[in-house]
Amino acid sequence: QKEVEQNSGPLSVPEGAIASLNCTYSDRGSQSFFWYRQYSGKSPELIMSIYSNGDKEDGRFTAQLNKASQYVSLLIRDSQPSDSATYLCAVRSSERFGAGTRLTVKP
Amino acid sequence: DTGVSQDPRHKITKRGQNVTFRCDPISEHNRLYWYRQTLGQGPEFLTYFQNEAQLEKSRLLSDRFSAERPKGSFSTLEIQRTEQGDSAMYLCASSFPGQGGYEQYFGPGTRLTVT
């Protein structure tokens, strides 16, 4: 079992829809969770961090964490074509990243 | 610009040659990380430093790879006797202790091609 797993994608949503990205992790001791966005040919860019169970909202982005289920998700509301990128989940007990989910937002 | 910088941005080398990459972190950041990323995969952890101490090194990292951060500022990653399988993007990131964790900020990467 991989330490960090993300839904394989690719994920395609129409402009204005909600995009839902999911991530599970294996280390129950993990305390810090991050979502990064990576445009093609560029390096990852931090967009959200979450440390406590529940939801954390930042603009159009909402991160959700459930430590009991070892599950973290990212919701993107009112998706825009500029959101088209690969989204990486990172678990910071062991500096591990998931393989990423490629999101395409179609105009 | 006070972001993470990496040098060179691109490196083409022949199999068997040694290469060295440099990373300059954000100045107040005490942690520095090295990752390797291939197409379609997430960043693969290689090693990280807190100040000048190398605290963790991936068990997947062969003896051909070595990293240093001699004064707790910039870091170098050396790959000896390069192989074609070493072709990848090498990413450096730095971080500082924040609320609950270490948020990492990445440099632009060094793309290595081994011919």
Specify the pLDDT at position B1.
54
pLDDT digits (tens, 9 = 90+) for A16-50: 999 999 999 998 888 899 999 999 999 999 999 99
Contact state of B45 with A94 under an 8 Å Cβ cutoff: yes
Among A1-10, B28-37, B48-57, B62-71, where is mean pLDDT lowest?
Answer: A1-10
Specify the pLDDT at position A94.
60
Residues of A in contact with B109 (CB under 8 A): 43
Q: Which residue of B has its CA nearest to A47?
A: B103
Contact state of A97 with B43 under an 8 Å Cβ cutoff: yes
Map B17-77 to HEC letters.
Answer: CCEEEEEECCCCCCEEEEEEECCCCCCEEEEEEECCEEEEECCCCCCCEEEECCCCCCEEE
Distance from CA of B31 to the nearest CA of A (A): 12
Query: Any idea which residue has 């997430």 for tokens?
Result: B42
Closest CA to B105 of A36, A39, A6, A17: A36
- Is residue A79 over pLDDT 90? yes
